[in-house]
Structure 1
Amino acid sequence: MSQSDDLYRLAEMTWQEVEAAVDETQTILLPVGSTEQHGHHMPLGVDVYMPDAVAERVAERTGCLLAPPVWYGVSPHHTFKPGTFTVESETFQHYVRDICASAADWGVENVLLINGHYLVQDPELDVVVRELTNEHGMRAFHVPLISGFEDAATAVRDSDVSFHASEFETSMMLELFPELVDMDRAEAVDAPDDALPLTDYDAFGDNRVGWALSADRMDELTPTGNLGDPTVATREKGARMVDDVVGKVTQLVEALDDLDAPTAAESGE
């Protein structure tokens, strides 16, 4: 299904337009992120700008609906720099769940949580998906951007460590919002060699167990706020990563639309 000429951003639609749209698609994308420090070279909104832009491209391709993003997330470890907001885990879970459950009341059956604050709030969103599935009868999915662009990121990366506001996120932002990135201010910050077994400071490293960083520990690790080398980021790398994740999420949305499409008998053919 393609509705490239139609509205898909819910915030720009009237209720009548939403009512008509839900006759065509029962899928909604909810960008979920955080407002937090991203080093000297990028703004606080990176974790929302990225999933919202990715979701917009998916909506343009598929005609699914795009909800206004969730700007605040679970970010206690970034509070060592000003501008960071954080909410309690339970508050975040309940808020995201209630947003999605309310959409179910007006006909949405499928929800994809497009998560730009990946790794840190993955556990919370996995709980939300389970609750929406079991308590509200929705098909719910947690879509961390990092999982969606892993193939491309692994293929193009030049740095050994990309953890926060470094090669991957900076490349994505250079593709999506280059005007918000100041590469002249980007600085590499090496990760320490003190990672325990089954833990790693790299986003695609050997993280086989759950672990977390405190604000005090982050303050010790990085004077700038980023961890890794953003100076090797390029728009070309970001374009490949964006294409990778948009293509994968589009496949999921199209498969959901196929599940929801009426059969010939139901449509009277």
Structure 2
Amino acid sequence: MPEKYAIADLTWRELDAATDETSTLLLPVGSTEQHGHHLPLGVDTHMPEAICRRIAERSRCLVAPAIPYGVSPHHTFKPGTVTVGSETFRRYVRDVCVSTSEWGIETVLLVNGHYLVQDPELEIVVRDLRTDHGMRAFHVPLVDLFADLADEIRESDLSFHASEFETSMMLALCPDLVHMDRAEATTIAEEALPLTDYDALGDNEVGWALSADEMAELTPTGNLGDPTVATVETGERLVERVVSKAVSLVDALERPEG
């Protein structure tokens, strides 16, 4: 493998040589949306980008430039949020992946930093890539990879958006972009409806979604939960859990047959 794994930093000849060594590509998929008073708009893109770099340092794979815009209509009640339609998003991500197959990529991991909300779209993209284009595709939502550990070490009862988990991971990955002196806890006065849960690790037994008006009513700051309990140590543990699990998948995919 070349020392550089980010395809944006390679010449076409370097990339051509790299695809002789690996046919696996990590595609960070994020969003640009409000994350409270203490986190930047690019959280959902910064996290998968940094995590993909860590994965690539430990496994045989390449990393594509991130997709920074996602499905975020529920966050448009605050400035800076950019959202695209569900169909537009799916087609764009799919077309990016199909394009890479033309120069040697056989397997793509969609590393999703805007987890929970755009999970449904990326599941459809994975199905289309596999059934219509013959690619090995996987959806990798960060929350699913760290959920077991987060449930063990969490300090807050509620962490849904821009709170304990995301803030901790940003402290570990991009500390210069985190303003802990501005962090504020937000609680939800009313209980969630039956079969639904506002928590990122909650038991949601039915499909549902929040609108921008509903989010505005729930949180004046933009975050849901308590980011003040976030720590670098928690973030590093969550990040390491994600990276180690993803590396195990990439290594299995890259293992020679026979």
Question: Which of residues 201, 213, 216 is equivalent to 1:216?
Answer: 213
Q: Partner of 2:94: helix, strand, or coil? A: helix
What residue number does 1:78 align with?
75
Q: Distance in 2 between matches of 1:216 and 1:25?
A: 46
Shift of 1:34: 0.3
Describe how 1:188-267 pairs up with structure 2 within 5 A: 188-258=185-255, 261=256
Q: Distance in 2 between matches of 1:193 and 1:205?
A: 16
Q: Distance in 2 between matches of 1:169 and 1:133?
A: 31
Question: Which of residues 10, 13, 24 is equivalent to 1:13?
Answer: 10
Q: Distance in 2 between matches of 1:9 and 1:161?
A: 36
Q: Partner of 1:143: helix, strand, or coil? A: strand
Question: Which of residues 97, 100, 116 is equivalent to 2:97?
Answer: 100
Q: Distance in 2 between matches of 1:191 and 1:127?
A: 32
TM-score (norm 1): 0.94
- Per-residue CA deviation, residues 98-155 of structure 1 (Å, 9 max, x unaligned), is 0000011111110000000000000000000000000110010000000111122112
Question: Which of residues 10, 16, 19 is equivalent to 1:22?
Answer: 19
What's the C-alpha RMSD, in Å, of the aligned pairs?
Answer: 0.9
In 1, are the aligned partners of 2:31 and 2:45 still within 8 Å (CA)?
yes
In 2, are the aligned partners of 1:151 and 1:244 still within 8 Å (CA)?
no
What residue number does 2:117 align with?
120
Shift of 1:194: 3.0
In 2, are the aligned partners of 1:54 and 1:242 still within 8 Å (CA)?
yes
- Per-residue CA deviation, residues 162-208 of structure 1 (Å, 9 max, x unaligned), is 00000000000000011110100000000233311110000011111
Q: Distance in 2 between matches of 1:185 and 1:63?
A: 40
1:142 aligns with 2:144: no
- The one-letter code matched in structure 2 to 1:161 is L
Q: Distance in 1 between matches of 2:149 and 2:204?
A: 19
TM-score (norm 2): 0.98
Q: Distance in 2 between matches of 1:59 and 1:228?
A: 32
- The one-letter code matched in structure 2 to 1:52 is E
What residue number does 1:266 align with?
none
Q: Distance in 1 between matches of 2:189 and 2:117?
A: 20
Q: Distance in 2 between matches of 1:104 and 1:238?
A: 34
Q: Distance in 2 between matches of 1:158 and 1:193?
A: 21
In 1, are the aligned partners of 2:169 and 2:232 still within 8 Å (CA)?
yes
- Per-residue CA deviation, residues 223-254 of structure 1 (Å, 9 max, x unaligned), is 00000000000000000000000000000000
Q: Distance in 1 between matches of 2:188 and 2:136?
A: 39
Percent identical: 67
Q: Distance in 2 between matches of 1:172 and 1:97?
A: 28
Q: Distance in 1 between matches of 2:39 and 2:185?
A: 13
Q: Distance in 2 between matches of 1:262 and 1:234?
A: 42
Q: Distance in 1 between matches of 2:133 and 2:103?
A: 13
Q: Distance in 1 between matches of 2:174 and 2:105?
A: 30
Q: Partner of 2:26: helix, strand, or coil? A: strand
In the alignment, structure 1 segments of 5+ residues that lack a partner are 264-269
Shift of 1:262: 5.8
- The one-letter code matched in structure 1 to 2:5 is Y
- The one-letter code matched in structure 1 to 2:32 is T
- The one-letter code matched in structure 2 to 1:103 is T
Q: Distance in 2 between matches of 1:179 and 1:107?
A: 37
Q: Distance in 2 between matches of 1:255 and 1:217?
A: 43
- Per-residue CA deviation, residues 33-75 of structure 1 (Å, 9 max, x unaligned), is 1000000000000000001111110011113000000000000
